[in-house]
Amino acid sequence: MDIPLVDAVAAVRDELLAAAAQGVDQEIQFAVGPVEMEFQVELRADVKAKGGFRLWAVSAETEAGVSRGRTHRVAFTLTPKSASGADLLISGPLGAEDGPGDTSRHVPH
């Protein structure tokens, strides 16, 4: 499944905004740090795009069927900010334990 790169970035933004909205009015807040994203992309002609080309994030299956010369690796870091330019905050409930809590079921001993 190919996804326009703009839609992939928008999906990450939407998820961060949803997380922030769920934490409204909570007393503990977390600032969102840099978000690193990496994609295999294919540059394709697009008559609707202003410059005539668009980047599409491609799946591993798609990449296998496409010449390596036509796919490229793109990596970038985004630093989410609120509309006012402040750090984006995601909140959690007051009284949460310090640290990750009980990880005995998650980490082999």
Q: Which residues lie across from 44 on neighbouring strands?
A: 54
Phi and psi at 18, nearest 5°, equal: -65, -40
Phi and psi at 8, nearest 5°, equal: -65, -45
pTM above 0.85, yes or no: no
What are 48-92's pLDDT values in tens digits? 656 677 777 886 555 444 444 478 888 889 888 888 888 888 876
CB neighbours of 34 closer than 8 A, spacing ≥ 6?
Answer: 77, 78, 79
Q: What pLDDT, on the 0 to 100 scale, is given for residue 100?
A: 54
